[in-house]
Structure 1
Amino acid sequence: MNDLNKIITEALLKKGASLVGFAHLGDIEEEKTGGFRYGISIAVALNTDIMSRIENGPTKEYYSEYGRLNNLLNELGECAADILKSYGYKALPRTTKVVKQDEESLSTILPHKTVATRAGLGWIGKCALLVTKEFGSLVRLTTILTDAELEVGIPINESQCGNCSECQKYCPGDAIKGVNWKVGLNRDDYYNAFNCSKTARKLCDKIGIKERICGKCIIVCPWSKKYLKSKMG
Structure 2
Amino acid sequence: MEPITLRLSTDLLEELDAESDEAGFSTRSEYIRHLLFHRPNINQMATAEDTSATTDSAQVDEIEQTVDELADYHDELTQRVSDLEEEVEQFHLNDDQPTGTSPSVSSTSDSPSDHHPLTTEQPSAEELESLTKFKQWLDENGPQSDDARTVLLDAAQILDDQGPLKASELREQLYECNPDTYGSAGALWASTVERLYDDLPGFERPEYGTYTFDREAAMESLPDPTD
Fold agreement, TM-score > 0.5 = no
Which has more radius of gyration? 2
TM category, shorter: under 0.3
TM norm structure 2: 0.24
Q: Which has the higher contact order (CA 8 A, sep 6+)?
A: 1
Q: Which has the higher helix share?
A: 2
Instruction: Identify, as 1 or 2, the structure richer in strand.
Output: 1
